[in-house]
Amino acid sequence: MRIGIACGGTGGHIFPGLAVAQLLTNRKHDVVLWLAGRDVESVSTSGWIGSVVSIGGKGLPVGFSLRSFTAIWSLFCAVAKSWLRMRKQPPDAIVAMGGYGSVGPVIAAYILGIPVILHEANVIPGRAIEFLSKFAKIVAISFDISMQYIKHPKVVFTGFPLRQDINKNVSEGLIATKYFTVLIMGGSQGAHALNEIAVSAICRLHLHGIPVQVIHLSGVKDETIVRKAYENTGVPCVVLGFLKDMARAYSQADLVIARSGAATCAELIARRIPAVLVPLPTAMRNHQLANARAVQKSKGVVVMEEKDLDPERLSEFIKGCYRNPEILDKMKEALKNIPENNATERLADIVEEVVQDKTV
């Protein structure tokens, strides 16, 4: 089978698409990644040895402005490029992970009569999935609660496809394991507000004699200033703008402080790591808050909204976890109660079934 995976955009689209692509490749299928041409894509897919098609495209802004015309034109061009490529080398199916990077390949596939499978990562569907669902054979979801938000005759719960290496055993971590280790991350693009609050909280703990060290994935823009803040205070740290091998960071984390994108939530559950989730307040349709609340039901994470968060509150919580290890032990046990869903295998199975026209 020849399968196209449209997963351009952010890490939240790329990594689950890449996970499915790797598995389908292992099953001897010919897989092509369809990307949007962003810088983060080249870093995230550096280990991919299969074919890649870059079609461009831009996301539509909220509301109507001059930027809307540019975005609409770019999406039209993405559809045209996708159609021309698929007409020459038609895939047997297109799997789209959402975001504007899915628009061109999905519409082109529909025009050419190529079956489409969508995957929605978040609790609340994005605009792309909502719009493109009318062209899809199946819409797969990461959270079962998403059923109530998607109007489609065939919605299937699969879970979130994870990278194969996310649970691997790590022989060498990122930092010497001396102290209580906090992993801070804002997603593939970083998170400036979260960086500021977390840096202040960690430095505050250090100055009050709490033996804490930090692995901080700051995003490229904040990498230098975050590193300097820790070094000036004397906090043992590793600061990186971006990290592809997340298993190395997760293996050393006693506690995670992070945004609540779907990929982060799924990885924390898989690794059973207690976390403070700080949803991005500007996320479209407030989907990160919905993700965080869904995971919070397990009692394995704590949700702190950014509007209510300051360095003092965050530092007090971290200090409480350090002084009372049983807090984190209970959170870990709670996360273990969330069943594994084998999402990558499920989604790959669905793709094969759609192409073979067995159950759809």
User: How confident is the model over 25-56, as pLDDT tens digits?
Assistant: 999 999 999 998 777 777 778 788 889 988 87
C-alpha 72/C-alpha 228 separation (Å) is 41
> Does position 59 have pLDDT exceeding 80, yes or no?
no
Tally DSSP H helices, then E strands, for the chain.
13, 13
Query: Start-end ranges of CATH 3.40.50.2000 in the chain?
Result: 2-159+341-356, 167-336
- Please give the DSSP secondary-structure letter assigned to residue 88: H
Contact (CB, 8 A) for 93 and 354: yes
Quick one: pLDDT at residue 10?
Answer: 78
For 75-130, the pLDDT digits (tens) are 888 999 999 999 999 999 999 999 888 999 999 999 999 999 999 999 999 989 99
Contact 161/119 with Cβ under 8 angstroms?
yes
Question: What architecture does CATH give domain 2-159+341-356?
Answer: 3-Layer(aba) Sandwich (3.40)
pLDDT exceeds cutoff 60 at 359: no
Residue 9 pLDDT: 78
Q: What is the pLDDT of residues 269-314, one digit of tens each?
A: 999 999 999 999 988 889 999 999 999 999 999 999 999 999 999 9
Strand arrangement, sheet containing 301-303? 237-240, 212-217, 180-185, 255-258, 275-277, 301-303
Topology of domain 167-336 in CATH is Rossmann fold (3.40.50)
3-state helix, strand, coil in the chain (%, to 5): 50, 15, 35
Q: Check residue 271 and give its pLDDT.
A: 94
**141 — phi, psi (to 5°)?**
-130, 155
Query: Does residue 232 register a pLDDT over 70?
Result: yes
